[in-house]
Amino acid sequence: MTDQKALAKGYEPKNVEAKWRKHWEETNLFTPDANAPGEAFSIVIPPPNVTGALHIGHALNLTLIDVLCRHARQKGKNTLWIPGTDHAGIATQNVVERALAAEGKNRRELGREAFVERVWAWREDYGHRILDQIRALGASVDWTRLRFTMDDGLSAAVRKVFVRLYNEGLIYKGKYIINWCSRCHTALADDEVEHEQQKGRLWRVRYHLADGSGSIAVATTRPETIPGDTAVCVHPEDARYAALIGKSALVPVLGRSVPIIADAYVDREFGTGALKVTPCHDHNDWALGNKHHLEFIQVIDENGLMTHDAGPYAGLSKELCREKIVADIAAAGDMLSVENMEHAVGHCYRCRTAVEPHVSTQWFVAATKLAPAARDATPALTQIYPESWIKTWNHWLDNIRDWCISRQIWWGHRIPAWTCPACGALTVAEESPAACSSCGAGGLAQDEDVLDTWFSSALWPFSTMGWPEKTTELARWYPTSVLVTGFDILFFWVARMMMMGLHFMGKPPFRHVYLHALVRDAAGRKMSKSTGNVIDPLAMTEKYGCDALRFTLTAFAAMGRDIRLSEERIEGYRHFVNKLWNAARFAMMHLAAGPEPVNPRTVQGLHHQWILHRLEAVKSGMDQAFEEYRFNDAAQSGYKFLWNEFCDWYLELIKPDLQSDDAPRANTARHVLQLALREVLVLLHPIMPFVTAEIWQALPSGAADMADMAAAELAVMPWPPARPCCVRETAAQHMEMIQEVIVAVRTMKAELGINPSQKVSLLLRPAGAAQAALLEENREMIMTLARLESLSADEDTTAPKASASSVAQGCQIIMPIRGAVDLASELARLDKELAKMEKDVAAVNKKLCNESFVSRAPADVVASEQKRAARLLDAKAKLLALKERFTQASADEEISPFHV
């Protein structure tokens, strides 16, 4: 650490950030000791794709988690944040396959083993990118506990879970209809299919009855599946077709005879009310086929080509088959109509290829059996924020279907199941078995498939902590405190972690789930490379500093709302970072020698009492906001305090103190300045770790009572304890009075075109002795901030005729204007002021004249309204009196202009 004590004029984030990143990691500052005291606080990172690059969504996620972790440390919690990456099966395999394609190769040529090696090599080369980007954001993760979903330990956990679930009958293998991506050449889970409305056509086709007695019209959007038809289905109560039920129809072109069946599933309103049933190529037809014991004929293979069973169309692509069969049917005179229509088509979430329903043998997790426990755990054991997601959560769990977990790709955890070449029996085991568990034969062949990437992610909260070993991490930090992630992976990930965590650990994996928004562009569109509207977090960090980016994301993270981000926002908050920097710079000019301690309890001076009072409010407000995931509230109150109170008022107010020859007076100011600055740095540190750490380090060591604060570095400083003795409502009210007077003078000057730096005389006519004393005690503050030449506060003051005037809390504010000002503009100003009061008075009176308000509203509300009415009326009367006097003066034209 450098030991420079002077701060540069403008904040230069680049070097500062690099320095602190390095320091935090080298000193293992965020590696917790399991034996350390304090409540456990833990978070597991939502592991980014190992081949991925950091996008703004990660930046938001990591920032919010970091805010929580840093705040938890401040609150004395034993805090663990586990970082790591996901092997991201299909996505990563696709990336490497693309690289191979660029070399003119494909994975089949390479062979499985070489291909997998190639992916590992790819990970070696590029896997650190995403980790460096996590570092760049200042994420306070424990790098000593870095994990990867395909680490040995995590892989062992995957096998253990698989075997146990299999033995419990919760994993099974079977032939079912699944979603098939012919480009990725693998099965997909239901939720890996994204449905999109697409233009298509609806063909009405005549199916002749087998007995030649007539025909039935059938509607379809997929004529290429006609060769796979094994029934025609109508609604049992559909009068049009009642006579046909039980008869047979002939499949067009092929002439195969299929039964006409009835099922209430059919929508009589749609199409012709008669549905062709193709059990192998449609999820619903699959269900119908099973229910009615229909024949299953597969006519499209896994490459999208027509099978042998497609008769004349065998060998054609499904697209070509569609063209031909439509033409053939038309030629036969059986095409009744064609119309355009929109319908939903499923697409692969990884490559956007249209997904084909496909019958094949796959592995499944019996999610239907695991889901109820996950449902019951919320909100009893795990609370979801924002709460509105609970309905969606429940609905999904209530309607869950078994989870297809086998993928026909090579990158991932290979399924720990072996088939016996001799007897065909299946052996499922954690380690490669030497012999068949059934007949004892050797030479077992392992299943070719790998597991869905989300299978290993589902174990993440406990596999990263060393499960199935009984580790200290698990004992100390499981369950995790909160899961912070985007709602887009609520089902993919959160729900499955919940099911696995409950099943294997007996406890839900997290106490809270905080779902944050999606980051969109300024126009509300999803950011994507193809739209070209991405905001690159690293470029933003580079340009405006990481703290500016982090503050922006935090300030916009209102619960349950998407974030519309634009570069201007980040630029705007860079100003805030710079403001803090400069406030500190100012403070440093006066703190070179540490001030002598002053007891905050007995500190004199309204401005000191006031800032300490405000500090208490902000401290507790931010603390609570952090605890309740109201990130935007925390950021906003920190922002307002620092800029609008600390900088705009307090720093200005203590300038005379700091320059005073009165040593104790100057010392008090320096002490309170240092105290407030130090505390505000702590408060803002979770959001802006770099700039605050840098300033903290540059500050001279504190006075005796702050020795503990000054000693350590900011990242491990505790959250400042509440200081109840500094809560002073009266001081706050008094300060408000002083501020009102100052603002009134500034406004008068501005509106009358008087240069703000021009010193004027001011006469105050206080509303009473107490007010007079208050103003007198604080005359220097008013003189300085209102830029006055002279000030008198006298209850018996009479206003000179040529005066601008105003009223604050019953105190008349009179500013002789000495003819230098256009009298008409002061009149106009007064009238505007009076009109505003008039409006307020009318509103309050309306309320107070309302009989039922007075009788029914709580007494304190009525009282405060009455007080307000009295205050307004008083102010209005006083202002009117001043105006009256002023009007006379204008009429007299007796004002002798005189100048300063």
Partner RNA sequence: GGGCAGUUAGCUCAGUUGGUAGAGCACCGCCUUCACACGGCGGGGGUCACAGGUUCAAGUCCUGUACUGCCCACCA
Residue 501: in which H helix or E strand, if any? Answer: helix 496-505
Min dist. Cβ of residue 238 to RNA (A) = 9
Tell whether residue 651 is a contact of RNA (CB under 7 A).
yes
User: Which residues between 757 and 776 bind RNA (CB under 7 A)?
Assistant: 757
Closest to 708 in 3D by CA, of 723, 698, 720: 720
Tell whether residue 756 is a contact of RNA (CB under 7 A).
yes
Tell whether residue 567 is a contact of RNA (CB under 7 A).
no
Min dist. Cβ of residue 791 to RNA (A) = 17
Measured CA to CA, the distance from residue 83 to residue 48 in angstroms comes to 9
Measured CA to CA, the distance from residue 490 to residue 288 in angstroms comes to 31
Beta strands per DSSP E along 454-531: 480-486, 510-516, 519-520
Looking at residue 648, its amino acid is D
Measured CA to CA, the distance from residue 196 to residue 346 in angstroms comes to 6
Tell whether residue 534 is a contact of RNA (CB under 7 A).
no
Measured CA to CA, the distance from residue 489 to residue 493 in angstroms comes to 5
Distances (CA, A) of 137 to 42, 59, 221: 19, 7, 50
Tell whether residue 733 is a contact of RNA (CB under 7 A).
no
* Contacting range for RNA; rule: CB under 7 A; set: 51-59, 265-273, 316-324, 358-366: 265-273
Min dist. Cβ of residue 833 to RNA (A) = 9
Min dist. Cβ of residue 894 to RNA (A) = 29
User: Which residues between 11 and 40 bind RNA (CB under 7 A)?
Assistant: 11
- By the 8 A CB rule, do 764 and 812 touch? yes
488 versus 822: smaller Cβ distance to RNA: 488
Task: Give me the 471-500 binding string for RNA, x by CB under 7 A, dash otherwise.
Answer: -----------------x--x---------
Measure the CA dihedral 870/875/880/885, to 10°. Answer: 130
751 versus 795: smaller Cβ distance to RNA: 751
Min dist. Cβ of residue 173 to RNA (A) = 23
Q: Which of 309, 562, 567, 776 binds RNA (CB under 7 A)?
A: 562
Min dist. Cβ of residue 831 to RNA (A) = 12
Tell whether residue 556 is a contact of RNA (CB under 7 A).
yes
User: Which residues between 605 and 634 bind RNA (CB under 7 A)?
Assistant: 630, 632-633
Distances (CA, A) of 567 to 406, 486, 539, 558, 808: 42, 22, 10, 18, 41
Q: Which of 579, 665, 818, 885 binds RNA (CB under 7 A)?
A: 579
Tell whether residue 129 is a contact of RNA (CB under 7 A).
no
Q: Which of 139, 275, 498, 793 binds RNA (CB under 7 A)?
A: 275
* Contacting range for RNA; rule: CB under 7 A; set: 579-587, 723-731, 772-780, 796-804: 579-587
Q: 394 CB contacts (<8 Å, ≥6 apart)?
A: 375, 378
Min dist. Cβ of residue 102 to RNA (A) = 31
35 versus 399: smaller Cβ distance to RNA: 399
Q: 773 CB contacts (<8 Å, ≥6 apart)?
A: none
Q: Which of 317, 360, 471, 747 binds RNA (CB under 7 A)?
A: 747
- Prior bond of 379 cis (ω within 30°): yes
* Contacting range for RNA; rule: CB under 7 A; set: 191-199, 403-411, 442-450, 506-514: 191-199
Tell whether residue 582 is a contact of RNA (CB under 7 A).
yes
Instruction: Please tell me whether residue 5 adopts helix, strand or coil conformation.
Output: coil
Measured CA to CA, the distance from residue 41 to residue 476 in angstroms comes to 9
243 versus 750: smaller Cβ distance to RNA: 750
Tell whether residue 729 is a contact of RNA (CB under 7 A).
no
Task: Give me the 843-862 binding string for RNA, x by CB under 7 A, dash otherwise.
Answer: ----x--x-xx--xxx--x-
Residue 781: CB atoms within 10 A of its CB come to 24
Full DSSP string of 233-278: EE-TT-TTTGGGTT-EEEPTTT--EEEEEE-TTS-TTSTTSEEEE-
Distances (CA, A) of 15 to 19, 24, 29, 707: 6, 14, 20, 28
Instruction: Please tell me whether residue 589 adopts helix, strand or coil conformation.
Output: helix
422 versus 558: smaller Cβ distance to RNA: 558
Tell whether residue 392 is a contact of RNA (CB under 7 A).
yes
User: Which residues between 328 and 367 bind RNA (CB under 7 A)?
Assistant: 343-344
Q: How far is CA 297 from the centre of its chain?
A: 47
Measured CA to CA, the distance from residue 786 to residue 780 in angstroms comes to 10
Closest to 220 in 3D by CA, of 241, 239, 206: 206
68 versus 577: smaller Cβ distance to RNA: 577
Q: Which of 124, 152, 269, 661 binds RNA (CB under 7 A)?
A: 269
Count the site residues for RNA by CB under 7 A.
88
Min dist. Cβ of residue 317 to RNA (A) = 19
86 versus 547: smaller Cβ distance to RNA: 547
411 versus 586: smaller Cβ distance to RNA: 586
Measured CA to CA, the distance from residue 346 to residue 356 in angstroms comes to 8
> 206 pairs with which residues across the strands?
217
Tell whether residue 308 is a contact of RNA (CB under 7 A).
no
Closest to 689 in 3D by CA, of 79, 13, 58: 13
User: Which residues between 865 and 884 bind RNA (CB under 7 A)?
Assistant: 868
* Contacting range for RNA; rule: CB under 7 A; set: 147-155, 181-189, 561-569, 804-812: 561-569
Tell whether residue 395 is a contact of RNA (CB under 7 A).
yes
* Contacting range for RNA; rule: CB under 7 A; set: 5-13, 49-57, 123-131, 402-410: 5-13
Q: Which of 266, 294, 591, 793 binds RNA (CB under 7 A)?
A: 266
Q: 703 CB contacts (<8 Å, ≥6 apart)?
A: 594, 595, 596, 597, 671, 674
Closest to 490 in 3D by CA, of 191, 193, 180: 191
Q: Which of 302, 447, 652, 795 binds RNA (CB under 7 A)?
A: 652
Give a three-class secondary structure readout of 536-581. Answer: CHHHHHHHHCHHHHHHHHHHHCCCCCCEECCHHHHHHHHHHHHHHH
User: Which residues between 193 and 232 bind RNA (CB under 7 A)?
Assistant: 194-195, 219-222
Residue 195: in which H helix or E strand, if any? Answer: strand 193-208
Full DSSP string of 8-27: PSS--HHHHHHHHHHHHHHT
* Contacting range for RNA; rule: CB under 7 A; set: 79-87, 394-402, 470-478, 530-538: 394-402
* Contacting range for RNA; rule: CB under 7 A; set: 330-338, 373-381, 395-403, 664-672: 395-403
Q: Which of 43, 216, 325, 577 binds RNA (CB under 7 A)?
A: 577
80 versus 688: smaller Cβ distance to RNA: 688
Q: Which of 469, 568, 822, 892 binds RNA (CB under 7 A)?
A: 568
200 versus 372: smaller Cβ distance to RNA: 200
N residues, the chain: 900
What order do you get walking across the sheet with 383-385 strand by strand? 383-385, 510-516, 480-486
Residue 739: in which H helix or E strand, if any? Answer: helix 729-751
Min dist. Cβ of residue 619 to RNA (A) = 15
145 versus 347: smaller Cβ distance to RNA: 347
Min dist. Cβ of residue 243 to RNA (A) = 18
Residue 513: CB atoms within 10 A of its CB come to 26
User: Which residues between 584 and 603 bind RNA (CB under 7 A)?
Assistant: 585-586, 589
Min dist. Cβ of residue 315 to RNA (A) = 24
Measured CA to CA, the distance from residue 882 to residue 890 in angstroms comes to 12
User: Which residues between 276 and 295 bind RNA (CB under 7 A)?
Assistant: 276, 282-284
Tell whether residue 302 is a contact of RNA (CB under 7 A).
no
Q: Which of 98, 108, 391, 529 binds RNA (CB under 7 A)?
A: 391
